[in-house]
Structure 1
Amino acid sequence: MAPQVVNEFLGYLKDPDSAIAVAVIKTLTGVIQRCNASTMMEIENALQEAAAQLKAAADTPVDKSITLSSISVTAVCQLFLRYVTRCFLEFADFDQCKAQLIDRGKMFVATSLTSRKRIADLGHNFVRDGMQVLTHGASRVVTGLLLQAAKTKHFSVVVTEGRPNNAGYKTAEVLSKAGIPTTVIVDAAMGYYMEKVDMVIVGAEGVVENGGIVNKIGTFSCAMIAHAMKKPFYVAAESFKFARLYPLNQSDFPHNCTDENVPSETHPNMTVGSPTCDYTPPHYISLLFTDLGVLTPSAVSDELIKLYQ
């Protein structure tokens, strides 16, 4: 049975519009509110334990109907716990410190809820009339940006189906209902369609220290094809997805990478590889649209320093 912290976290995620970061912060704020601690150290220990439970839940999902990103969960937990440490140093009075942490958690949630709108306001200017845009996977941030652009411009979108969970169909449904001409293609057709599109925009499960991203499997392939055909490759992601990780290759980051939607019976000498995410190095990325502004990949490390200082 999942602990209370995990159940509360999953409960927040039942809302289809709830971001992982918002659910994490609400859960950790709840831990502080319920905590009977009398010292700052006890609060920090309680939060550390809760963060460990949330990370474990992301690595081994309790509810298969909810898609979790271990990188997103880890990044937000690290950021909040860093603020807790700073708060302990700033406030000598325990009650005042606890109240400040709760207020900060609520403020973070409010700010996070506006992040997508800010990204859409910044990024939609890069979409121009008559363009054809390619996107991969299902990103609410990217969808919001494209919907914002569609209010004043006419363009079309090519969406990869996003195997193995076919996440692209969700994106295509939302865009087509909004009146945007949308074409769904098989993932393997990215190269065929890339020469016809004007730009690529994807979301991210996590943005790492060197400005690269971890995202749905196939993003790396998409970025390499775009690079080869000299098409701009943009990433739209909230700053709470900035993670203190520095991967050097595809296996050098923590993730729950085996999808369960694979054949149940195989030949004894055959295995099925079905990773859910991959790493795209920064030199394939043109720009990142974030709530902190439009950033080059090299600027991500500077922003991480500001977030964690």
Structure 2
Amino acid sequence: MGSAESPLEMFNRLMGAEEDKSAVEAQIQTLIAVIQQSEEAQTVTEVREKIVETNNELMRSHLANASVRSGGELFLRYITMTELDQPRFDDTRRVLISRGENFLSRIRQSLDRIMSMALPFINHGTRVLLHSRSKVVLALLKRAAKAQLDFQCTVTQSLPDKSGERMLADLQQAGINASLVLDAEVGVALERVDMVLLGAEAVTQSGGIVNKIGTYTVCLCAHALNVPVYVLAESCKFLRAYPLNQADLDLELRYPASAERTRTKSGGQCRSPITDYTPPQYLKLLFTDIGIVPPSAVSDELTKLYL
């Protein structure tokens, strides 16, 4: 991080440099740089305060999502979870940076672990419904295509940003048989598929997920039609939150800085939510880097991450 570059500027630059860089990866790179540059901090408490302050700043980025909140909490826990008794604080800082780099390495390796567990669920002739554009789901489907598996994808348009259209283009570019349907058509489309594959911006302690607006509707329809819903998510997205419904979801998760503004009939402006919450009873399994986890086990796994 250059001397004139703020943490928020660095985060936005990293996200812009690579189209498929995850928000958590860019966040952790930024936090490591903050620790390296925070020479005025001379205690672990001061470093913690700086990290918390930086995380709050990053949440204001238009490129941030719910995973930035969970990733920041886990990063802070990971680098300070054991004793840091060093003769000089410069030595302590180096330990913190080393642990941070190890945490970043684990995040980068998580994708391969998830794909290795999820790939056996895709077979010749499998018909998959997708909502929005998930980098993890896209990577899995590309790997399945390389394995010469003949499967079909149906992608929702995913308004308001039409992220499903981007997903469709990526799939077709990879030679994958894919078609687009309107969001309102999802109930009809689900009658023609074998499973739903989703990513997640965050996995809550309840075992539910926070994801692109419309996910809840997709999962409700899938549940009614007995179509299993599988979620692919890194464990760094496990969030200490226990919403019971949409109203329980924190405003910063429902209305991130990137939420689009729409004009009301009276001439005022309001923000449309860009995420919703899907309760655990509508999800079949979660594929994570720590294993294949049923929604009911997420709370226990989250507890282990913080021990």
Asked if TM exceeds 0.5, the reply is yes
Contact 2:132 2:158 in 1 (8 A): yes
- Aligned residue-pair number: 296
Q: CA-to-partner distance for each residue in 1:128-154, whole Å, 9 max, x for gaps?
A: 111110010000000111111122310
Which runs of structure 1 show a deviation greater than 6 angstroms over 4 or more consecutive aligned residues?
269-273
Partner of 1:47: 51
Which residue identity is paired with 1:260?
E
Mapped contact 1:223–1:285 kept (Cα < 8 A): yes
Match of 1:17 in 2: 20
Structure 2 counterpart of 1:133: 128
Counterpart for residue 29 of structure 1: 32
Give the one of 212, 219, 223 matched to 1:223.
219
Cα distance between partner residues in 2 of 1:198 and 1:44: 46
Matching residue of 1:158: 154
Letter in 2 for 1:86: M
Q: Compute the displacement of 1:275 (Å).
A: 1.7
Aligned in 2, Cα 1:256/1:199: closer, same or farther, shift over 3 Å? Answer: closer
RMSD: 2.0
Match of 2:85 among 91, 102, 109: 91
TM-score normalized by structure 1? Answer: 0.90
Q: Secondary structure at the match of 1:150?
A: helix
What is the correspondence of 1:128-277 to structure 2 with a 5 Å cutoff? Answer: 128-152=123-147, 153-254=149-250, 255-257=253-255, 259-260=259-260, 262=262, 264=263, 266-268=264-266, 274-277=272-275
Range that drifts further, 146-155 or 38-47: 38-47
In the TM superposition, what is the alpha-carbon distance from 1:108 to its structure 2 partner?
1.8
Query: Per-residue deviation at 1:205?
Result: 0.6
TM-score by length of 2: 0.91
Contact 2:214 2:276 in 1 (8 A): yes
Tell me how far apart the structure 1 counterparts of residues 115 and 79 of structure 2 sit (CA, whole Å).
30
Letter in 1 for 2:304: K
Q: Deviations over 1:220-257 (max 9, x none)?
A: 11111111111110001111110000001102122252
Q: Residue 52 of structure 2 aligns to which amino acid in structure 1?
A: Q
Measure the CA separation in 2 of the matches of 1:272 and 1:44.
35
In 1, Cα distance between the equivalents of 2:192 and 2:106?
A: 38
Match of 1:64 in 2: none
- Deviation sequence 1:106-164 (CA, Å, 0-9, x none): 12222212212221121111011111100100000001111111223101100001000
Q: 1:29 to 1:136 in 2, by over 3 A?
A: same
The answer to whether the Cα contact below 8 Å between 1:234 and 1:285 also exists between their aligned partners in 2 is: yes
Once residues 113 and 257 of structure 1 are traced to their aligned partners in structure 2, the CA distance between those partners, rounded to angstroms, is: 28
Q: Percent identity?
A: 41
Gapped runs of 5+ residues in structure 1? 62-66
1:72–1:205 Cα contact (<8 Å) kept: yes
| Aligned partner (choices 277, 280, 285) of residue 282 of structure 1 | 280
From 108, 114, 120, the equivalent of 1:113 is 108
Change (3 A) 1:271 1:41: closer
For the residue of structure 2 that corresponds to 1:245, the secondary structure is: coil
Q: Is the 8 A contact 2:131 2:158 kept in 1?
A: yes
Partner of 2:10: 8
Checking the alignment, whether the CA contact within 8 Å between 2:261 and 2:270 is kept in structure 1 is no
Instruction: For residue 5 of structure 1, report the CA deviation from its aligned partner.
Output: 1.2
Q: Aligned to 1:195, what secondary structure does the other structure show?
A: helix
Unaligned runs of 5+ in 2: none
| Residues in 1 aligned to 2:101 and 2:268: alpha-carbon distance in whole angstroms | 50
